[in-house]
Amino acid sequence: MSRSGSASSPYRFNRAIVRTPARSVIDGLRAGDQCSPTYDGVRAEHQAYVAALEAAGVAVTILPALEAFPDSIFVEDPALVFPEGAILLRPGAPSRANEVQEIAPALREVFQTVIALPSGVADGGDVLVTPSNLMIGLSNRTDRAGANALIACLAEFGHEGQIVETPDEVLHFKTACSLLDEETIFCTPKLAETGVFARFKLVVTPDGEEAAANALRINDVVLVGSAFSKTIELLDRLRYKVVPVPTSEIGKIDAGLSCMSLRWRAA
């Protein structure tokens, strides 16, 4: 299959929503004892990210910062969007629960149909969209009740969900994987070993660059953290059009490239 994909490919987008980072982003959630990012550093990386989306052919709506919610820059966790409509999720971190009501008005302005997850907890960072279905990874932020409720919500839009396991000590399912094209997944060795991607071709992250697994395919390009030189070389060798994007500051709060935008293809 062509690296460029068809018009209906799950990485073909022309619209996106992002949110300006708040100054409180330096207090964002993280695992372990990583040092805090700087606000100026996160803001610069966010601006570079928006520029990369726009250069890839995406019209970007930028929502204002929410100082009360340090993690609100990561708009993919409280919602999922599709051409057919949006699903308001129930984030697994208690401090993020009210982000849903903050983003809901912006989604209702764009989508005629907006439905809400009725039970359980689920983060968008645990949901990988593939050509055949949506893979929902169980994690500390997404439980089985939330995953089952999400499958029912997806059915309302004509989409199928599949529950899978996220490796231990991995924040989100997509922390460890991303879609490169209709047939190919980029993932960590640990996730590859689970066999969850049996129907796909796999490209495995180079040693020491497991964090690069959260790449982001946007139309004809693949966004990759600019610090991951071995990954960039690997994907370039495989003839993907790689666009390096700085992520060293947002990486300090366990973030990657997919979580900073909600993306869809509008008619």
What DSSP state is assigned to residue 124?
Answer: G
d(CA 154, CA 51): 31
Cβ contacts of 134 within 8 Å, gap of 6 or more = 127, 128, 154, 159, 160, 161, 162
With b meaning 16 or more CB within 10 Å and e meaning fewer, what string describes 193-214?
A: eeebbeebeebbbbeebbbbbb
DSSP letter at 39? Answer: H
Q: Give the whole-angstrom CA distance, residue 61 versus residue 107.
A: 11
Could you give the count of Cα atoms lying within 13 Å of 120 in the half-sphere of its Cβ?
19
| HSE-CB of 259 using CA atoms within 13 angstroms | 28
Burial (CB < 10 A; 0-12, 13-18, 19+), residue 81, is buried
CA 60 centroid distance within chain:
16
**Strand, coil or helix: 126:** helix
Beta bridge partners of 223: 216, 243
Question: Is the distance from CB of 124 to CB of 91 less than 8 angstroms?
Answer: no
Residues serving a catalytic function are 172, 259
The DSSP output letter for 113 is -
Taking alpha carbons only, the member of 104, 38, 119, 37 closest to residue 66 is 104
